[in-house]
Structure 1
Amino acid sequence: MRIIRFFNLAIFTLLLIHPLLGQEKKVSLESVFKQGIFFQENIQGINWMNDGQYYSSLDQSQGYPRVIKINISTGKEEEVLIDGKKLGLEFSEYELNKEETKALVASEVEPIYRRSTQANYHLIDLESGDCQKLMDGEKISYATLSPDNDKVAFVKDNDLYYISLKDQQLHRVTHDGQRNQIINGAADWVYEEEFSMAKAFEWSPDGEQIAFLRFDETKVPEYHMQIWGNLYPYDYSFKYPKAGENNALVSIHVRHLEDNKTVTLDSGNENDIYLPRIYWTGTPNHLAFIRLNRLQNQLDIFQAQTTTGESSILLTETSDTYVDLDYNDNLLFLENNKGFIRTSEKDGYKHIYHHNKNGKLISQVTSGNWEVSELVGVDEKDENVYYISTEKSPLERKLFVIKMNGKSKRLLTEAKGTHHINMSPDFKYFIDKHTTTDQPLRISLHNQKGKEIKLLKSNTALKERISQYAFASKTFFEFETVDGTMLNGYMMRPADFDPYHEYPVLMYVYGGPGSQDVTNEWGGTRDFWHQHLVSEGYIVACIDNRGTGGRGKAFKHSTYGQLGKLETQDQIAGARYLADLPYVDNNRIGIWGWSYGGYLSSLSLMLGNDIFKTAIAVAPVTNWRYYDTIYTERYLKPPQLNPSGYDDNSPINHVKKLKGDFLLIHGTGDDNVHFQNSVDLVNSLIAADKQFETFYYPNRNHGIYGGNTTWHLYSMMTDFIKRKL
Structure 2
Amino acid sequence: MASMIGSSRLAGALALALVATGAMAQGHTLTKDDYARAERFLGNNTAPLVDHAIGRVTWLDDGHFWYVDHDAKGDHYRVMDVATGKTSDAFDQPRLAAALGKALARPVKADKLGIREYVVAADGRLDVQLNGKHYLCDLKPAQGECVVKKAGKEPGVLSPDKKTEAFIRDWNLWLRDVASGKETQLTTDGVENFGYATDNAGWKHTDNAILVWSPDSRQIATFQQDERKTGEMYLLKTQVGHSELLKWKGPLAGDKDVTMIERVVIDVPSKKVVRLKMPADQHRSTLCDDISCGPEGGWDDVKWAPDGKSLAFVSTSRYHKDEWFRIADPKTGAVRTVFEEHVPTYYESGNGQVNWFYLPESHEAIWFSERNDWGNLYLYDLQTGKLKHAITTGEGNVTEVLKVDPKTRTAWFRGVGRTPGVNPYYQQFFKVSLDGGKPVLLTPEAANHEITLSPDGHAFVDTYSTPTTPPVTVLRDSGDGHTLATVAKADISRLRAAGWVAPTPITVKGRDGKTDLYGMLFKPTHFDPHKKYPVIDYIYPGPQTGSVRGRNFLSARGDNQALAELGFIVVALDGMGTPWRSKSFHDTWYGNMGDNTLPDQVAGLKELGKRYAWIDLGRVGIWGHSGGGNASADAMFRYPDFFKVGWAESGNHDNRNYEDDWAEKYQGPLVVNKDGTTNYDDQANQNHADKLKGKLMLVHGTLDDNVPPSQTLLVADALIKANKDFDLLMIPNVHHGYGKEKGSYAMRRRWDYFVTHLAGNTPPKEYAITLPKD
TM-score (norm 2): 0.79
Q: Which residue of 1 aligns with 2:752?
A: 719
Within 5 A, what are the aligned runs for 1:95-174? 109=132, 137-144=151-158, 146-164=159-177, 169-174=182-187
Aligned partner of residue 37 in structure 1, secondary structure: helix
Q: CA deviation at 1:399?
A: 1.0
> Is 1:601 matched with 2:632?
yes
In 1, Cα distance between the equivalents of 2:70 and 2:237?
A: 34
Report the more deviating stretch, 493-502 or 507-516: 493-502
Within 5 A, what are the aligned runs for 1:677-692? 677-692=711-726
In 1, Cα distance between the equivalents of 2:477 and 2:344?
A: 43
1:266-312 deviation digits (Å, cap 9, x = unpaired) = 2x336556363221122432111111111211011111000000010
Residue identity over aligned pairs, in percent, reads: 25
Residue from 669, 676, 692 that aligns with 1:658 = 692
Aligned partner of residue 214 in structure 1, secondary structure: strand
In 2, Cα distance between the equivalents of 1:309 and 1:320?
A: 31
> Is 1:353 matched with 2:378?
yes
Aligned partner of residue 686 in structure 1, secondary structure: helix
Residue from 388, 394, 407 that aligns with 1:368 = 394
Residues 713, 191 of structure 1: alpha-carbon distance in 2 compared, 3 angstrom cutoff: closer
Q: Which residue of 2 aligns with 1:302?
A: 326
> Is 1:512 matched with 2:542?
yes
Q: CA deviation at 1:338?
A: 4.5
* Residue identity opposite 1:314 in structure 2: V
- Does the CA contact (< 8 Å) of 1:575 and 1:612 recur in 2? no
- Does the CA contact (< 8 Å) of 1:32 and 1:38 recur in 2? no
Structure 1 residue runs without a partner (length 5+): 1-23, 110-119
In 2, Cα distance between the equivalents of 1:131 and 1:253?
A: 40
> Is 1:541 matched with 2:571?
yes
In 2, Cα distance between the equivalents of 1:618 and 1:716?
A: 12
Within 5 A, what are the aligned runs for 1:468-479? 468-479=498-509
1:338-392 deviation digits (Å, cap 9, x = unpaired) = 4232321122111112223334322211112211111121233433321111123
In 2, Cα distance between the equivalents of 1:186 and 1:454?
A: 44
In 1, Cα distance between the equivalents of 2:693 and 2:401?
A: 47
In 2, Cα distance between the equivalents of 1:197 and 1:206?
A: 25
Q: Which residue of 1 aligns with 2:647?
A: 616
Residue from 321, 324, 337 that aligns with 2:345 = 321
Residue from 397, 404, 408 that aligns with 1:382 = 408
* Residue identity opposite 1:344 in structure 2: S
* Residue identity opposite 1:426 in structure 2: D
Q: Which residue of 2 aligns with 1:406?
A: 436
In 2, Cα distance between the equivalents of 1:421 and 1:640?
A: 44
In 2, Cα distance between the equivalents of 1:636 and 1:209?
A: 38
- Does the CA contact (< 8 Å) of 2:155 and 2:208 recur in 1? no
Q: CA deviation at 1:176?
A: 4.3
1:558-597 deviation digits (Å, cap 9, x = unpaired) = 2111112262222232333334343321211111111111
Report the more deviating stretch, 211-220 or 625-634: 211-220
In 1, Cα distance between the equivalents of 2:403 and 2:523?
A: 40
> Is 1:223 matched with 2:233?
yes
Residue from 214, 218, 238 that aligns with 1:208 = 218
Report the more deviating stretch, 224-233 or 516-525: 516-525
Aligned partner of residue 355 in structure 1, secondary structure: strand
In 2, Cα distance between the equivalents of 1:414 and 1:427?
A: 19
Higher strand share: 1
Q: Which residue of 2 aligns with 1:451?
A: 482
- Does the CA contact (< 8 Å) of 2:703 and 2:735 recur in 1? yes
In 2, Cα distance between the equivalents of 1:369 and 1:198?
A: 39
- Does the CA contact (< 8 Å) of 1:186 and 1:199 recur in 2? yes
* Residue identity opposite 1:383 in structure 2: R
In 2, Cα distance between the equivalents of 1:62 and 1:123?
A: 29
* Residue identity opposite 1:74 in structure 2: G
Q: Which residue of 2 aligns with 1:710?
A: 743
Aligned partner of residue 706 in structure 2, secondary structure: coil
Q: Which residue of 1 aligns with 2:247?
A: 237
Q: CA deviation at 1:714?
A: 1.4
In 2, Cα distance between the equivalents of 1:279 and 1:552?
A: 28
Aligned partner of residue 646 in structure 1, secondary structure: coil
Q: Which residue of 2 aligns with 1:182?
A: 194
Q: CA deviation at 1:557?
A: 1.3
> Is 1:415 matched with 2:445?
yes
Q: CA deviation at 1:32?
A: 4.0
* Residue identity opposite 2:391 in structure 1: V
In 2, Cα distance between the equivalents of 1:443 and 1:626?
A: 44
- Does the CA contact (< 8 Å) of 1:98 and 1:147 recur in 2? no
> Is 1:254 matched with 2:265?
yes
* Residue identity opposite 1:140 in structure 2: E
Q: CA deviation at 1:654?
A: 0.7
- Does the CA contact (< 8 Å) of 2:325 and 2:339 recur in 1? yes
* Residue identity opposite 1:352 in structure 2: L
* Residue identity opposite 1:532 in structure 2: A
In 2, Cα distance between the equivalents of 1:62 and 1:166?
A: 41
In 2, Cα distance between the equivalents of 1:126 and 1:351?
A: 49
In 1, Cα distance between the equivalents of 2:540 and 2:603?
A: 16
Q: CA deviation at 1:437?
A: 1.0
Q: Which residue of 1 aligns with 2:465?
A: 435
Aligned partner of residue 573 in structure 1, secondary structure: helix
- Does the CA contact (< 8 Å) of 1:27 and 1:532 recur in 2? no
> Is 1:587 matched with 2:611?
no
In 1, Cα distance between the equivalents of 2:355 and 2:719?
A: 45
Residue from 241, 264, 283 that aligns with 2:275 = 264
- Does the CA contact (< 8 Å) of 2:194 and 2:225 recur in 1? yes
Q: CA deviation at 1:130?
A: 12
In 2, Cα distance between the equivalents of 1:290 and 1:197?
A: 24
Aligned partner of residue 156 in structure 2, secondary structure: strand
Report the more deviating stretch, 197-206 or 648-657: 197-206
In 2, Cα distance between the equivalents of 1:403 and 1:28?
A: 53
- Does the CA contact (< 8 Å) of 1:25 and 1:468 recur in 2? no
Q: CA deviation at 1:89?
A: 6.7
TM-score (norm 1): 0.85
* Residue identity opposite 1:257 in structure 2: V
Residue from 558, 567, 575 that aligns with 2:588 = 558
Q: Which residue of 2 aligns with 1:21?
A: none
> Is 1:344 matched with 2:372?
no
Residues 388, 255 of structure 1: alpha-carbon distance in 2 compared, 3 angstrom cutoff: same
Residue from 596, 605, 617 that aligns with 1:575 = 605
* Residue identity opposite 1:369 in structure 2: E
Q: CA deviation at 1:34?
A: 9.1
1:575-621 deviation digits (Å, cap 9, x = unpaired) = 33334343321211111111111111111111111111111111111
- Does the CA contact (< 8 Å) of 2:699 and 2:730 recur in 1? yes
Report the more deviating stretch, 278-287 or 634-643: 634-643
Q: Which residue of 2 aligns with 1:3?
A: none
* Residue identity opposite 1:385 in structure 2: A
- Does the CA contact (< 8 Å) of 1:38 and 1:466 recur in 2? no
- Does the CA contact (< 8 Å) of 1:412 and 1:450 recur in 2? yes
- Does the CA contact (< 8 Å) of 2:43 and 2:555 recur in 1? no
1:235-292 deviation digits (Å, cap 9, x = unpaired) = 11111111122322211111112322110112x3365563632211224321111111
RMSD (Å), alpha carbons? 3.7
In 2, Cα distance between the equivalents of 1:249 and 1:172?
A: 24
Residues 579, 432 of structure 1: alpha-carbon distance in 2 compared, 3 angstrom cutoff: same
Q: CA deviation at 1:721?
A: 0.8
1:307-356 deviation digits (Å, cap 9, x = unpaired) = 00001012211111111144512122236354232321122111112223
In 2, Cα distance between the equivalents of 1:411 and 1:360?
A: 29
Q: Which residue of 1 aligns with 2:764?
A: none
